[in-house]
């Protein structure tokens, strides 16, 4: 059985004081969760959130990681820096990083390899735009993004990685893929993994849905057999909403 992962992507929200309050409010609400609970917070919040969740079952995540160990990369953070801050998960290749900061599939792969080599768990994001879906490229695109993103990882590193299928047209728009659309696309990703790495590895990898998952639609999405959790944006910024999604996995 794959253990679901519900990860909150706070994006560029919450000062350290606000982050501490949110994390503290969330802890009692998810203390009996049957899934992995992760908070991917801004780097400025690592200390505050890390201290708040110490001793709880919530794990700390970052929203990116650089591929170099050190060097002249202003504004970036290496995997070893994140590890020393208590980070366990790192979102990589989010559509906002690809769209606004020009991250290519090749750069995403370098970041994934760096994270995995350091013992972080990458959350590799893949997904299509509305134009790409309407043109019939969804399956080919998400298969390509997935396999390129994981290139160079060992079989064990692939098993431990998390993939987040995020249709770009559903991120922050209020639009959501239907339960069946999300399940079918995640099935395409799992089938691609099976062809590349074998059925056992494919069945071990956890694949989330991301894209306006909220308390109202989480149960339907999570009931789908291929979906192993969610990468949650706006709904992760309210403790009650995020906890409601977590509780869909059971308590």
DSSP state letters, 2-67: PPPEEEEE--S---HHHHHHHHHHHGGGSTT-SSEEEEE--GGGHHHHHHHHTTSSEEEEES---S
Residue-level pLDDT at 212: 87
From residue 61, alpha-carbon distances to 5, 91, 134, 138, 233 in Å are 12, 8, 33, 28, 14
- At residue 250, the pLDDT reads 76
pLDDT band at residue 251 using 50, 70 and 90 as cut-offs: low
pLDDT tens digits along 159-211: 999 999 999 988 877 777 899 999 999 999 999 999 999 999 999 999 999 98
Q: Which of 94, 103, 128, 157 is catalytic?
A: 94
CB 165 within 8 Å of CB 143: no
The yes-or-no answer on residue 24 being catalytic is no
Distances (CA, A) of 48 to 58, 81, 238: 14, 16, 17
Q: Which helix (H) or strand (E) holds 176?
A: none
Superfamily of segment(s) 5-247: Aldolase class I (3.20.20.70)
DSSP 100-120: HH---HHHHHHHHHHHHHTT-
Give residue-wise pLDDT tens across range 2-16.
999 999 999 999 999
Inter-residue contact 145 to 126 (CB < 8 Å): yes
Contact 246, 37 (CB under 8 A): yes
* Of 103, 143, 166, 226, catalytic: 166
Q: What is the mean pLDDT of residues 120-133?
A: 95
Q: What is the pLDDT of residue 175?
A: 78
Whether the predicted pLDDT of 84 surpasses 80: yes
Q: CA 173, CA 168: separation in Å to the nearest integer?
A: 9
Q: Which of 74, 95, 159 is nearest to 122 (CA)?
A: 159
Separation in Å, CA 240 to CA 54, 76, 111, 155? 20, 32, 33, 37
Give the residue-averaged pLDDT of 24-30. 97
Domain boundaries, the chain: 5-247
Q: Could you tell me what percent of the chain has a pLDDT over 90?
A: 93
For residue 98, is pLDDT > 80?
yes
Averaged pLDDT score across all residues of the chain: 96
Question: In b/e form, how buried is each residue of 10-36, taking b as 16+ CB within 10 angstroms?
Answer: bbebbebeebbebbbebbebbeebebb
- Tell me the mean pLDDT in the region 127-154: 96
User: Is residue 66 among the annotated active site residues?
Assistant: no
Contact assessment for residue 5 and residue 35, using Cβ atoms and an 8 Å cutoff: yes
What is the H or E stretch that residue 242 is in?
A: helix 239-247
Write down the pLDDT at residue 233: 94
157 and 118 Cβ atoms separated by less than 8 Å: no
């Amino acid at each position: 059985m794959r253990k679901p992962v519900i990860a909150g992507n706070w994006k560029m929200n919450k000062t350290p004081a606000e982050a501490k309050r949110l994390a503290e409010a969330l802890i009692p609400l998810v203390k009996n969760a049957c899934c992995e609970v992760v908070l991917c917070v801004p780097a400025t919040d690592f200390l505050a959130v890390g201290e708040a969740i110490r001793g709880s079952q919530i794990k700390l995540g970052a929203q990116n990681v650089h591929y170099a160990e050190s060097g002249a990369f202003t504004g970036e953070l290496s995997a070893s820096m994140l590890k020393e801050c208590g980070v366990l998960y790192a979102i990589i290749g989010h559509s906002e990083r690809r769209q606004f900061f020009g991250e290519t599939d090749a750069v995403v792969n370098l970041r994934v390899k760096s994270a995995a080599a350091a013992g972080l768990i990458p959350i590799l994001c893949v997904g299509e735009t509305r134009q790409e879906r309407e043109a019939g490229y969804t399956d080919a695109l998400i298969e390509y993004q997935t396999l390129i993103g994981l290139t160079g990882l060992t079989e064990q590193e692939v098993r431990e990685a998390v993939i987040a299928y995020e249709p770009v047209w559903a991120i922050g728009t209020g639009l959501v893929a239907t339960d069946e659309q999300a399940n079918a696309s995640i099935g395409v990703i799992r089938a691609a993994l099976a062809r590349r790495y074998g059925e056992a590895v494919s069945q071990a990898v956890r694949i989330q849905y991301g894209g306006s998952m909220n308390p109202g639609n989480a149960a339907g999405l999570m009931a789908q057999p291929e979906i192993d959790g969610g990468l949650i944006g706006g709904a992760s910024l309210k403790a009650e909403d995020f906890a409601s999604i977590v509780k869909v996995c059971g308590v």
